[in-house]
Amino acid sequence: MTKHKELNKWVKECAELCKPDKIVWCDGSLEEKERLEKLAFKSGELIKLSQQKLPGCTYHRTAQNDVARTEHLTYICTKHKQGAGPTNNWLPPEEGYRRAGEIFKESMKGRTMYVIPYSMGPVGSPFSKIGVELTDSIYVVLNMRIMTRMGKAVLDQLEKSGGDFTRCLHGKADLDVDRRLILHFPEDNTIWSVGSGYGGNVLLGKKCLSLRIGSYLGRAEGWLAEHMLIMGVEEPSGAITYIAAAFPSACGKTNLAMLLPPEGLKRKGYRIWTVGDDIAWMRIDTDGKLWAVNPEYGLFGVAPGTNTKTNPNIMAAIKKGTIYTNVLLKKDKTVWWEGGDPPVPASGTNWQGKQWKPGLVDENRQPMLAAHPNARFTVPIQNVPSVTNRLEHHHGVPIAAIIFGGRRARLAPLVYEAFSWQHGVFVGATMASERTAAQFGAQGEVRRDPMAMLPFCGYNMGDYFRHWLALGKKMVAPPKIFNVNWFRKDKDGKFLWPGFGENLRVLEWIISRCKGEVDAVRTPIGCLPHENDIDMTGLRIPRENMNKLLAISKADWKEEAASIAEFFKTFGKDLPREMGSELAALQKRLR
Ligand code: GTP
Ligand code: SPV
Ligand code: MN
């Protein structure tokens, strides 16, 4: 119970629909965490890991058909279809409530409904948003406890303000993919998610509130909610340049946000500060510049491919207080995944709960995986050795550069700079990337993913581009916009660029451009580095690789422009005029 009348009324309504045996209001205390863990160990929902080697860590397996976000079951429910736009699935609100309501109905019988008051952003900050999630999953409560600021302090804040909150109802129901819906009702500030237990579908503060509802609120209130990491690059002088970068899911945000300077660049004495790894809320401050906060409090990161060489910061962070999902469980109650630290374990129980050892194949004669490719860890951001000390500053950090990027085996060069804010919006709007395991569906195919927001924009994407254009006009010296591609491959399918920590070499060029310290080569697609302006000290890669990484094929780009034209057609009248003129200008430059 609470003094907040609206909240009480809504909790009661949801309980009448779902019929839980019990309602528990979460206070966020350590005692509560331990009590819930105990219950989950007993039911098997969680497994306790070795407390010597991984203190405070637990292990969870999701249902096997529930291992990634399900974009085809994710909807924006606005009164008019126009509100959701051409890139979102749409349902009229009544229809959404009705369909999901049937699945929610009495689905919590025999279960407990937990009430989680949470704040995205520092509690009480004028730029934060409060949500309340109702869920029948202890796994969700324990994850929300890491990913958000939650519990008593937030409820107190909500009661004190008497203000609005995002109504987030989640139920596992029967975890049946045919009875799964992730619904957003931006006009009601409401989210309903039913039939899933997987992170992005159920930790409703993350993609659902901070991006889909957030972007909708951002347009109404004049700010931006983006699928971006935020990082600071500190020079020995102490000056820190902050960068925000949008890459699609599983394309390197967590890794870039906490990179360690590579050997050859260590002499320059850079330090990297991690502000956020997935979401940025950005607004124009009183100085007319763009400032960003990370509304989250934890990281829900991809495990496979993560090891002490590629990301020592995260490996240090996940040694304590971490929830591991869908990785390999070893006999000594520690964990492993493909691309993890050596040695490869001799055996273990895999993400499906099957006995695993190296070399086994599954029923399709494919190598049996230890971890699901989208296996994840949930870890408090304060565990990360490179965490910024500005996390609680309600102004956040000033953004000097915005970077877009994706996985593209061909076409896109290692880095280029947009000619202007408007051109940069075009570069972001036409981003494309190969699909990864973070979303349900075919992997590898290239799809357009504007600003890495295709699955996350809570309103008409055409209006979203318009909003970006409008904010650019309001800023004093808007950030410079860049595009990067760490994933270009050679003929044999090998990455041409070593990536990870070495990406700092590219960031260094980007920062020099922001400061006006280096020239660039003007090409039809944007400004590229002069070959010698990327510091390659200590990095031995063949010169021809560098040429390939910076090569622009006019023929390929003409094809790209034609494909962009096709993509733009899907927007019809919703496409801002400026996007059409940028495309025409690109085509002209390519001629
Ligand atoms: P989400 O949490 O889904 O939004 O993903 P993310 O963008 O934070 O991606 P993350 O940093 O977790 O990286 C995803 C995968 O890409 C991991 O397997 C990484 O090992 C791999 N990866 C990250 N950075 C690089 C890079 O610079 N080069 C290459 N080749 N792989 C990378
Ligand atoms: C992503 O898919 O972009 C993620 C993971 O960050 S999830 O929270 O599942 O959306
Ligand atoms: Mn993400």
Q: If one looks up domain 5-44+72-222 in CATH, what number appears?
A: 3.40.449.10
Q: What is the pLDDT of residue 442?
A: 75
Q: How does pLDDT run across 377-415, given as a tens digit for each residue?
A: 999 999 999 999 999 999 999 999 999 999 999 999 999
Q: Which amino acid is at 437?
A: A
Helix axes 93-104, 5-18, angle to 10 degrees: 60
Sign of CA dihedral 95, 96, 102, 105: negative
How far does the centroid of ligand 2 lie from the alpha carbon of residue 144, in Å? 14
- Max alpha carbon distance in the chain (Å)? 69
Catalytic site includes residue 251: yes
Ligand 2 in reach of 201 Cβ (< 6 A): no
Residue 437 predicted with pLDDT over 90: no
Q: Are 144 and 234 in contact (CB under 8 A)?
A: no
The Cα–Cα gap between 350 and 346 comes to 12
In this model, does residue 444 exceed pLDDT 90?
no
Question: Which of 337, 251, 387, 382 minimizes the C-alpha distance to 59?
Answer: 337
pLDDT at position 87 is 98
Write the CB contacts of 429 (distance below 8 Å, at least 6 apart in sequence): 450, 451, 465, 579
Mean pLDDT value of segment 91-107: 98
User: Would the pLDDT of 445 be above 90?
Assistant: no
Domain ranges of the chain: 5-44+72-222, 45-70+297-384, 226-294+391-590
Query: Which atom of ligand 1 lies at the shortest distance from residue 310's CA?
Result: 20
Our answer on whether the CB atom of 377 is closer than 6 Å to any ligand 1 atom is no
**Residue of 249, 275, 302 to mutate, ligand 1, most atoms within 8 A of C-beta:** 302
The Cα 280–Cα 292 span in angstroms is 6
**Are residues 552 and 528 in contact, defined by beta-carbon separation less than 8 angstroms?**
yes
CA pair distance 455, 74, nearest whole angstrom: 8
Ligand with an atom nearest the CA of residue 227: 3
- Say if CB 207 and CB 455 are below 8 A apart: yes
Residue 438: the pLDDT is: 81
Q: Which residues pair with 376 in a beta bridge?
A: 302, 325
Please say if the pLDDT value at position 441 is more than 80: no
Q: What is the mean pLDDT of residues 121-142?
A: 97
In a 13 Å sphere around the CA of 522, the CA atoms on its Cβ side amount to 4
Listed residues: CB within 5 A of ion ligand 3: 249, 278
Per-residue pLDDT, 363: 87
In the predicted model, is pLDDT for residue 124 greater than 80?
Answer: yes
What is the pLDDT averaged over residues 131-146? Answer: 98
* Identity of the amino acid at 534: I
Which of 3.40.190.10, 3.30.43.10, 2.170.8.10, 3.30.750.24 is the CATH number of 45-70+297-384? Answer: 2.170.8.10
Cis omega (within 30 of 0) for bond into 20: no
Ligand closest to CA 196: 2
Average pLDDT, the chain: 97
Can you tell me the mean pLDDT for 331-356? 98
**Which amino acid type is present at position 505?**
R
3-class secondary structure per residue, 424-464: HHHHHHCCEEECCCCECCCCCCEEECHHHCCCCCCCCHHHH
Residue whose CA is at the smallest distance from ligand 2 atom 5: 200
Report whether pLDDT(331) > 80. Answer: yes
Burial of 310 (0-12, 13-18, 19+ CB in 10 A): middle
Average of per-residue pLDDT across 443-469: 96
pLDDT, residue 440, reads 81
Going from the Cα of 206 to the center of ligand 3, the distance in angstroms, rounded, reads 9
Q: Give which of 30, 2, 54 is closest to 318, Cα–Cα.
A: 54
Q: Residue 106 above 80 pLDDT?
A: yes
Structure tokens, 142 = 């324990």
Residue 494's pLDDT band, with cuts at 50, 70 and 90, is very high
At 1, the pLDDT band (50, 70, 90 cuts) reads: confident
CA of 249 to the centre of ligand 1 (A): 8
Burial of 364 (0-12, 13-18, 19+ CB in 10 A): exposed
Q: Exposed e or buried b for every residue in 202-214, given b needs 16+ CB within 10 A?
A: bbbbbbbbbbbbb
CA of 208 relative to ligand 3 center, distance in Å: 11
Mean pLDDT value of segment 288-302? 98
Q: What would the two tokens of residue 56 be?
A: 């405070």
The span from the CA of 466 to the CA of 90, in Å, is 21
Are 166 and 187 within 8 A, CB to CB?
no
Q: At what angle do helices 577-590 and 554-569 cross, to 10 degrees?
A: 160
How far, in Å, is the centroid of ligand 1 from the Cα of 250? Answer: 5
Q: Among 255, 294, 484, 496, which residue has the most ligand 1 atoms within 8 Å of its CB, making it the best to mutate?
A: 255
Opening angle at CA 511, ends 298 and 516, nearest 5: 150
pLDDT for the residue numbered 354: 97
Give the percent of the chain with pLDDT over 70.
100
Ligand 1, atom 21: nearest CA belongs to which residue?
252
Comparing C-alpha atoms, which of 312, 305, 338 is closest to residue 487? 305
Q: What's the CA gap between 211 and 226, in Å, rounded?
A: 6
Convert the pLDDT of each residue in 524-553 to its tens digit.
Answer: 999 999 989 999 999 999 989 999 999 999
Distance 202 CA to ligand 2 centre (A): 11
Find out whether the beta carbon of 438 lies less than 6 Å from any atom of ligand 2: yes
Q: Is the pLDDT of residue 443 over 90?
A: no
Q: What is the DSSP string of 135-165?
A: ES-HHHHHHHHHHSEESHHHHHHHHHH----
Spot the catalytic one: 18, 26, 251, 457: 251
Closest ligand relative to 226 C-alpha: 3
Residue with CA at minimum distance from ligand 2 atom 7: 200
Residue pointed to by tokens 């006019």: 554
Task: Indicate the CATH number of 226-294+391-590 among 3.40.50.300, 1.10.10.60, 3.90.228.20, 3.30.1490.20.
Answer: 3.90.228.20
Asked whether the CA dihedral 156, 162, 168, 169 is positive or negative, the reply is positive
From CA 508, how far away is CA 510, in angstroms rounded? 5
